[in-house]
Amino acid sequence: MQVVREKIMPGRGIDVAQAARDFYEPVFRFCARHVGKDLASDAAQETFLTAHKVRQNFRGESSLRTWLFGIALNECRRLARQKRIEPSTVPLIDVSQQDEGQSILDRRLLQEALQKLSAEHREVVVLHEIEGLTYEEAAKVLDVPVGTVKSRLHHAFLQLRRSLDTTYEGATR
Amino acid sequence: MNVREDLKAFIDDELTAERRTEVQRELDADLELQREMEFMRLLGSELRSAALQPSAEGKDRTLRWLERRQTKRRVINPRLQWALAGAGCFLLAAILFPVFAQSKAASKRTAALMKEREAAAASAPHGFAGTAKDFDDKTPASPAEAPVAGGGFRRENRKSTMGRNPSDPENLINGSPSVPPQAIPTQQPLMIRSGQISLEVEEVEEAVKKATRQIEAMGGMVQNSNVSGAENERGSAEIVVRVPESKFTAAMEGMEAIGKPLSHSSTGEDATTQVADVEARLKVMRAEEQQYVLLLRAARTIGQIMEVRDRLSSVRQEIESLDAQRKSLRAQTSYSTITVTMQEKNKDPKALTPPPANWSEDTLTSSKEVLFAIGRFLARAAIFLGVLAPIWIPLGLVAWFLRRRYAR
């Protein structure tokens, strides 16, 4: 497990260079899931540049990773608007490595089902299921109440089930 | 509450202990619910295992940039930055203070010069006290070039006559008369004012009579009057009135009270300098005329007489011209012109109101005025910005520097 070093320097906020050493990879992957791999490095870099500018705003009320994900989400939204990227078209699932022995669901169909989710539902699925954030952390990143995260996640899974129903029936039969 | 809605939170262990017990109880009793939960668990697991895990790129570039920023910040510590900013402000003040002092002195000199010119202009009807520039620029064929015995002319320095008696023929022969400077009170500005008023009235004839009475009561006169309109037609009139300049505002208000004002405008031109200039030149020319008369009497040869007469003739022509200009300017500044356009109210409400005859011209004039006003405003703003650049550019730079500093 990655060691988190959240060093807060008096009068200067956090050490963003250290934060980049610790969290660049998860931030990059998070950005890649929103704007695609090609633009992910730009988005990640912008995230840390913004973090450097506003580092004095970090009070340690949330984890550093959550704080960085919050900034990254805003940067990704801005970049997506600027480059006219539709987040639903960005692949989340690695369809090239389908393991017939272990995977029950067809990854291609799973990717299609994820593409049918709304942006809000997709965001909670990414934050909770893929990035592994708790409901509370996801709520902080999205700046919404915890109840909203719970509700969005429930509806996202309902929709995924509806989309995959045929596949699931086939798989469990 | 619907248990299905909490199923996902149950799987993720995000429920309170009490709610978790309730959901567990429902799950134990409902096979379909168990299948649903199983699917959700499977789906979550599949999402985590099948998610794309792209390898990170650009980390070194970001780290280099961040380290460069931090190194850069460490080079100049905050206290040193404040000290540098203070030193900058001090240096700026040291540079600007002499500039301001020079500017203030220049401003005082200009004000003094202006005051002197105004005093000279005001004194013109009583005695010439123009500046050297006025004298040099505007005095033609100075009698300083006086004829001397032997037929030639001798050029005299004007300053050499200062303090001499102007009526002394000797002085007149040797140079132009100078009038000793005297303290003269500041004169009121002489304005050439004109106004235009457009009115809607009940009866044109009656309104014209009323306007005429008002103007005459103020000591003015109707210069031009034009009333038109046949029977059953809307009458209209245009009168041009002249009123004493001091009554201009009262006359404008009086005219507006005659009917319903549709539009009004007034313009003014300061003719103080023009009048003063003309009167000063006139004074000088008259003094020259006197000198030439005396010189004519003193002339001994035909050549001298002819030469002096030619000069006297040209001086007198100049005097006539200047006098006419003076009278015209005085008349314009003594009396202001007001043009009143009257239009009868539309008696038949069904009849369409015809547009004013000169509406297009008015619109064009108004739009031009607006355009010129905007142009003047922009030019003034540009001049202000240009002149005040030594102040706002350094301040802007300091603000920009501070903003950048706090934004980081």
pLDDT in tens, B358-406: 788 888 988 999 999 999 999 999 998 999 989 889 999 998 888 777 6
- Among the ranges A91-100, B67-76, B393-402, which has the highest mean pLDDT value? B393-402
Distance from CA of B92 to the nearest CA of A (A): 30
Q: At what angle do helices A16-35 and A37-53 cross, to 10 degrees?
A: 140
Q: What is the pLDDT of residue B141?
A: 41
The per-residue pLDDT for A45 is 92
Helix (H, G, I), strand (E, B) or coil at A114: helix
Residue A108 in 3-state DSSP?
Answer: helix
CB contact under 8 A, A17 and B7: no
| pLDDT attached to residue B140 | 40
Q: Which of B11, B13, B20, B43 to mutate to test the interface with A (most CBs of A within 10 A)?
A: B43
On the CB side of B398, how many CA atoms lie within 13 Å of its CA?
17
Mutant choice from B23, B37, B59, B65 vs A, greatest count of A C-beta within 10 A: B59
> Under an 8 A CB cutoff, do B62 and A45 touch?
yes
- Is the per-residue pLDDT at B342 higher than 60? yes
Query: Measured between CB atoms, which of A20, A105, A153 is closest to B8?
Result: A153
CA max distance for chain B: 148
- Residue B101 pLDDT class (50, 70, 90 cuts): confident
Q: Looking at the whole model, is its pTM more than 0.90?
A: no
What is the token pair recorded at B64? 């280099």
Q: Which chain B residues are closer than 8 Å to A103 by Cβ?
A: 46, 49-50
| Closest by Cα among B272, B273, B275, B276 to B128 | B276
Question: Nearest CA to CA, how far is A129 from chain B (Å)?
Answer: 6
Q: Please tell me the predicted confidence (pLDDT) of residue A44.
A: 93
A125/B47 Cβ within 8 A: yes
Least confident of A90-104, B193-207, B331-345: A90-104
Low-confidence winner among A116-120, B82-86, B141-145, B387-391 (lowest mean pLDDT): B141-145
Predicted pLDDT of residue B113: 73
Tokens of A36: 């695609």
Which of these ranges, B35-49, B54-68, B228-242, B250-264, has the smallest mean pLDDT? B228-242
Average pLDDT (A55-83) is 89
Max mean pLDDT among A82-91, A100-109, B26-35 falls in B26-35
- Please tell me which residue of chain B has the smallest CA distance to A132: B48
Rounded to the nearest 5 degrees, what angle is found at the Cα of A94, between the Cα atoms of A89 and A99?
145
Cα angle B310, B312, B313 (rounded to 5 degrees) comes to 65
Q: What is the pLDDT of residues B272-302, one digit of tens each?
A: 888 888 889 999 999 989 888 888 888 888 8
Strand partners, A9: A13
Question: Helices A64-83 and A37-53 meet at what angle, rounded to 10?
Answer: 120
DSSP state of A106: -
Residues B140, B38: Cα–Cα separation, whole Å? 115
Residues of B in contact with A30 (CB under 8 A): none
Option in A24, A134, A161 nearest B59 (CB): A24
Position A100 scores a pLDDT of: 56
Span of A84-88, B75-79, B126-130, B345-349 with lowest mean pLDDT:
B126-130
State the smallest CA–CA distance between residue A154 and chain B in angstroms: 6
Average pLDDT, chain A: 83
Q: How far apart are CA B324 and CA B43, in angstroms?
A: 106
As a whole-number percent, the residues of chain B with pLDDT over 90 amount to 11
Average pLDDT over residues B26-48: 88
Quick one: three-class SS letters along chain B? CCHHHHHHHHHCCCCCHHHHHHHHHHHHHCHHHHHHHHHHHHHHHHHHHHECCCCCCCHHHHHHHHHHHHHHHHHCCHHHHHHHHHHHHHHHHHHHHHHHHHHHHHHHHHHHHHHHHHHHHHHCCCCCCCCHHHHHHHCCCCCCEEECCCCCEEECCHHHHCCCCCCCHHHHHHCCCCCCCCCCCCCCCCEEEEEEEEEEECCHHHHHHHHHHHHHHCCCEEEEEEEECCCCCCCEEEEEEEEEHHHHHHHHHHHHCCCEEEEEEEEEEECHHHHHHHHHHHHHHHHHHHHHHHHHHHCCCHHHHHHHHHHHHHHHHHHHHHHHHHHHHHHHHHEEEEEEEEEECCCCCCCCCCCCCCHHHHHHHHHHHHHHHHHHHHHHHHHHHHHCHHHHHHHHHHHHHHHHHHHC
Q: Rg for chain B (alpha carbons), in Å?
A: 44
- Best probe of the B interface among A14, A22, A27, A29, by most B CBs < 10 A, is A29
Coil, helix or strand for A13? strand
How far apart are the C-alpha atoms of B142 and B148, rounded to whole Å? Answer: 15
Residue with tokens 């060691």: A3
DSSP state of A90: S
pLDDT at B90: 80
Q: Which residues of B touch A53 (CB under 8 A)?
A: 407-408
Cα torsion angle, A169, B2, B6, B10, sign? negative
* Probe site for chain A from B35, B45, B55, B66 (most A CB atoms < 10 A): B66
Nearest neighbour of B46 by CB, restricted to A48, A52, A103: A103
pLDDT of residue B382: 93
Contact: A105, B43; criterion CB under 8 Å: yes
Q: Indicate the residue of B56, B66, B69 with minimum beta-carbon distance to A28.
A: B56
What integer pLDDT is reported at residue A104 of this predicted model? 65
Distance separating alpha carbons of residues B273 and B189, to the nearest angstrom: 9
pLDDT of residue A154: 92
The pLDDT value recorded for residue A125 is 93
pLDDT for residue A153: 93
Name which of A45, A91, A135 is nearest B52 (Cβ-Cβ).
Answer: A91
Burial of A32 (0-12, 13-18, 19+ CB in 10 A): buried
Q: Taking CA A124 as the corner, what is the angle to CA A123 and CA A125, rounded to the nearest 5 degrees?
A: 90
- H or E, element range at A52: helix A37-53
Q: What are the chain B neighbours of A168 within 8 Å (beta carbons)?
A: 39
Mean pLDDT of B322-348: 84
What is the predicted pLDDT for the residue at B139?
A: 39
With contacts defined as CB-CB under 8 Å, which chain A residues touch B12? 128, 135, 153
Residue B348 pLDDT greater than 70, yes or no: no
A17 and B67 within 8 Å at the Cβ level: the answer is yes
- Among chain A residues, the shortest Cα distance to B66 is held by A17
ipTM exceeds 0.90, yes or no: no
Min mean pLDDT across A39-48, B306-315, B354-363 is at B354-363
* pLDDT (0 to 100) of residue A70: 93
Contact pairs from chain A to chain B, CB under 8 Å: 117
The reply to whether residue B49 touches residue A103, judged by beta carbons under 8 angstroms, is: yes
Cross-chain residue pair B63–A154, CB shorter than 8 Å = no
Task: Give the pLDDT confidence of B140-190 residue by residue, as tens digits.
Answer: 444 444 444 444 444 444 433 344 444 444 444 444 444 444 444 445 677
Closest CA to B248 of B366, B333, B343, B122: B333
Give the pLDDT confidence score for residue B161 in this predicted structure: 38
Lowest mean pLDDT among A103-107, B40-44, B273-277, B402-406: A103-107
Amino acid letter, B364: L
For residue B95, pLDDT beyond 90:
no
Overall average pLDDT of the B87-103 stretch: 75
**CA distance, residue A122 to nearest chain B CA (Å):** 12
**Residues of B contacting chain A (CB within 8 angstroms):** 4-9, 12, 14, 36, 39-40, 42-44, 46-54, 56-59, 61-63, 65-67, 69-70, 407-408
The partner residue sitting opposite A24, judged by closest CB among B7, B51, B62, is B62
Task: Please tell me which of the candidates A16, A48, A104 has its beta carbon nearest to residue B42.
Answer: A104
Interatomic CA distance for residues B397 and B393, integer angstroms: 6
Min Cα distance A44 → chain B (Å) is 8
pLDDT at B351: 52
* pLDDT value for B164: 41
